[in-house]
Amino acid sequence: MKRDRLMKINDLTWEIPEKYKNCMRVPGRMYLSEELVDIVEEDTYEQVANVACLPGIVKYSLAMPEAHLGYGFPIGGVAGIDIEDGVISPGGVGFDINCGVKTLKTNLTLEDVQGGVEELINRLFSNIPSGVGSESKLKLSHDELDYLLENGLDWALENGYAKQDDVIHCEEEGCITTADANKVSNKAKKRGLSQVGTLGSGNHFLEVQYVDEVIDQDTAEKFGLTKNQIIVMIHTGSRGFGHQVCTDYVKKLEKATKKYNIDIPDKQLACAPFDSKEGQDYFAAMACAANYAWVNRQVIASWVRDVFHNYYGQDTELETLYDVAHNIAKKETHTVNGEKKELIVHRKGATRAFGPNHKELPSSYQETGQPVMIPGNMGAPSYILRGTQFAMENTFGSTCHGAGRKMSRSQAKREYWGETVQKELSKQKIYVKATHGAVIAEEAPGAYKNPDKVVNVAHNLGISKKVVKLKPLGVAKG
């Protein structure tokens, strides 16, 4: 699709008309600045239009400001699909089910950690298994894993890896109750047994940051955030377990697509009616992977607390600000054409951004809307924003999840050398520890869009509003 086929609604909103493809049931709507429109790959526009062809989709096929090419759905894609006559699609969730971010706020300041960041990152790297094939320090039985899959953060609470406050300050309180471990393959469980509490590789990270700028003083106070405060951000997901769940169900739903005579423009959009056996089985298995990811981040958080307590003293506090999912499909109620409708909302590389007074938010965030964490990329700033009523009305309560890549990992490895990137970051007083240099090259800040420009679109549009800006001090990567 060429740029001239897009309809400009306003400076930050673009539409792919419903008539662009015969199969489109709704228009495509993308939230981009003029500059970002030119960066987005043409195939991403095609994916937005393809998603608009799915049965039951309502209002728009949406793309958030970081939109780029994904599997079937674009990364940054959001689709609200009627559960009565619509479908569920693994491509709309992705392979790293419930990849997401947990953010811990500490009672330390920039002054407290100066001179010690390198040692802190080395200790975190040593204590938290990282990288491809890394194995957990936990040894779970098959029965314990099944319990974890169906109970999420309650497992962490019962086994000493979480506090009640961690559970309250987690999307869905860390458990989708429709999870059914019987719907997960033995192969997926085998991969999951040894990976609870591991960071993984690629863009996953554990980053120590500080609050560089307070943008919304009132909300920052309500979130408990102050200038120069030390923050820890954990970005990881369901590891090989979630990947295997997705792989298993893509095959099953490809068959279901034919069985139910669903016409789709791209086989990567394989899907099944939500209320069919195949659709319900995938939803139950995906929920297991979502619960696994929330526990994974929580166990890592517990070990992060241990490292901080050993290094800075037992009175060091690390409280959960919030934990949000990036890749997930959830049953939610939204207003469509003036009527409340129950939808299966697919967020693929997008963050929930529920506004004030939503019943699913904890009491501490009823007045402000939920915290939204948008991580940067090693050298670039991260942001904490808040959800808005505008998002509820226009994006099914969703916003962007990161800056979004502007080049593939293979291209990044051709253009960057890990050791050089590490030295450049060191000049900015950012210490990076990784399993190998290729990971640093793949994730070089230059391989991503400028997070300031992506977040500014979300902020200026109003699908989430900036609260504080964070700058990195040190990063541990898989």
Q: CA 411, 412, 418, 422: dihedral to nearest 10 degrees? A: 170
Taking Cα atoms as reference points, which of 450, 311, 370 lies closest to residue 101?
370
70 is in an annotated binding site: no
Can you tell me the distance from the alpha carbon of 440 to that of 402, in angstroms, rounded to the nearest whole number? 17
203 is in an annotated binding site: yes
Tokens 């599997």 belong to residue: 71
313 is in an annotated binding site: no
353 is in an annotated binding site: no
Can you tell me the distance from the alpha carbon of 183 to that of 196, in angstroms, rounded to the nearest whole number? 19
96 is in an annotated binding site: yes
206 is in an annotated binding site: yes
395: left (phi over 0), alpha (psi -120 to 50) or beta: alpha
Tokens 């953010």 belong to residue: 103
Can you tell me the distance from the alpha carbon of 75 to that of 63, in angstroms, rounded to the nearest whole number? 8
What sign results for the dihedral spanned by CA atoms 228, 229, 234, 235?
Answer: negative
> Which residue type sits at 141?
S
| DSSP summary character for residue 95 | S
Task: For residue 401, indicate whether it is catalytic.
Answer: yes
Please tell me whether residue 431 adopts helix, strand or coil conformation. Answer: strand
Taking Cα atoms as reference points, which of 324, 255, 275 lies closest to residue 100?
324
Can you tell me the distance from the alpha carbon of 20 to that of 175, in angstroms, rounded to the nearest whole number? 40
Q: What CA–CA distances, in Å, run from 112 to 106, 108, 311, 319, 457?
A: 11, 6, 11, 17, 34
326 is in an annotated binding site: yes
Q: Are the CB atoms for 401 and 393 separated by under 8 Å?
A: no
144 is in an annotated binding site: no
205 is in an annotated binding site: yes
Instruction: Please give the backbone phi and psi of residue 374, each rounded to the nearest 5 degrees, phi first.
Output: -120, 100
Q: How far is CA 333 from the centre of its chain?
A: 21
394 is in an annotated binding site: no
H helix runs in 26-129, sequence order: 34-39, 42-51, 110-113, 117-127
235 is in an annotated binding site: yes
The alpha carbons of the chain give a radius of gyration, in whole angstroms, of 21
What sign results for the dihedral spanned by CA atoms 330, 331, 334, 338?
Answer: positive
The residue annotated as part of the active site, out of 169, 243, 401, 459, is 401
403 is in an annotated binding site: yes
138 is in an annotated binding site: no
Q: How far is CA 232 from the centre of its chain?
A: 16
Tokens 């979480």 belong to residue: 162
Can you tell me the distance from the alpha carbon of 220 to that of 468, in angstroms, rounded to the nearest whole number? 7
Beta pairing, strands 75-82 & 272-273? unpaired
Q: What CA–CA distances, in Å, run from 427 to 92, 230, 422, 442?
A: 40, 20, 9, 19
Please tell me whether residue 391 adopts helix, strand or coil conformation. Answer: helix
- Extract the annotated binding site for GMP: 203-207, 326-327, 375-378, 382, 401-404, 477
- Extract the annotated binding site: 96, 203-207, 235, 326-327, 375-378, 382, 401-404, 477
- Extract the annotated binding site for Mn(2+): 96, 204, 235, 326
Question: Which of the residues are catalytic?
Answer: 401
